[in-house]
A and B are shown apart, each in its own frame.
Chain A
Amino acid sequence: MAYYKRRNQSFRKKNVVCQFCVNKVYNIDYKNLEVLVRQIGPDGKINPRRRTGTCARHQRMVAVAIKRARHMAMLAFDRGTWL
């Protein structure tokens, strides 16, 4: 019982509603690291939508912004060693 409960929780969405839609964000800047850092995991990978609850449109914008930040050496490609 407990096992199933924990397993279900790990796949549960944290935010049911897209936080970018709630705050009415229309474009995500790659220099805005405060926002982008929240969208990557400890290993530097982009968090999936099922974890963050971001809508498809904003997830696309987040992905582009993170990739641009990686190119400009603001975010790491792996291990999440951003500074």
Chain B
Amino acid sequence: MIKLRNYEIAVIIKSELNDEQRSSLKDVIQDWVVSSGGEVVLLDEIGKRKLAYPIEKQREGYYVFWYVKMSTAGPAEVERQLSIHEDILRYMIIRSESPVSVSSSQENDSDTDVSESDSPEDSDSSDQPDIEKIVDELMEKEEKEEMEGSK
């Protein structure tokens, strides 16, 4: 029984490559994953993007992310292969708790907004029904008390 874990592989490919070279390189990387006993759950691409700082004198990179299930021996093998290849500027393999689909990650984006303008509105919207309930209850109590007092 081999224990499978969820990993996330992030790769920056040189932006100079044309589409054919890039797709072939992606196939090669997927082959490494499959040959080391893993399976690709999801492929996510951001595409061409400016780098925050130059890597190997490159100012642009092509971002590709794989969400992968692999055995515990897999990442070391894939990492070794990634480090050798010349057209890969950067790579990173991290453990992810669960495979995240693109749609759910976008939902998480909206959830994790912590802007100061948004958060009070959220808290207000959650508080409003409670306050209304409490006010209603108080009103009812007061009415009952008044009725009892009048009697």
A 19-62 contacts with B by CB, 8 A? 19-20, 22-25, 27-29, 31-32, 34-35, 38
**Interface residues of B, count at CB 8 A:** 29
Residue pair A29, B105 in contact (C-beta under 8 Å) = yes
Residue pair A35, B112 in contact (C-beta under 8 Å) = yes
Kindly supply a per-residue 1/0 record for chain B positions 92-129, scoring 1 wherever the CB is within 8 Å of any chain A CB and 0 otherwise.
10100100100001001101111110010011000000
Across the interface, which residues of B come within 8 angstroms of A19, CB to CB?
A: 114, 116, 119
CB A66 to nearest CB in B, in angstroms, measures: 12
Residue pair B112, A73 in contact (C-beta under 8 Å) = no
Q: Which of B29-37, B49-57, B72-80, B135-143 contacts A (4 or more CB under 8 A)?
A: B49-57
A interface bracket (residues with beta carbon within 8 Å of B):
20 to 34
Q: Given the known A-B contacts A22-B123, A27-B97, A83-B50, are A73 and B109 also in contact in the complex, defined by CB atoms under 8 Å?
A: no
How far is it, in angstroms, between the C-alpha of A27 and the C-alpha of B111 when the chains are bound? 11
A63 within 8 A of B: no
Residue pair A73, B90 in contact (C-beta under 8 Å) = yes
Residue pair B97, A72 in contact (C-beta under 8 Å) = no
Residue pair A24, B111 in contact (C-beta under 8 Å) = yes
CB A9 to nearest CB in B, in angstroms, measures: 16
Across the interface, which residues of B come within 8 angstroms of A24, CB to CB?
A: 111
CB B106 to nearest CB in A, in angstroms, measures: 10
List 23 A-B residue pairs with CB atoms under 8 Å apart, sorted by A's residue number: A19-B116, A19-B119, A20-B112, A22-B114, A22-B123, A23-B112, A23-B114, A24-B111, A29-B100, A29-B112, A31-B65, A34-B113, A35-B112, A35-B114, A72-B63, A73-B12, A73-B51, A73-B52, A73-B53, A73-B61, A73-B90, A76-B52, A83-B50
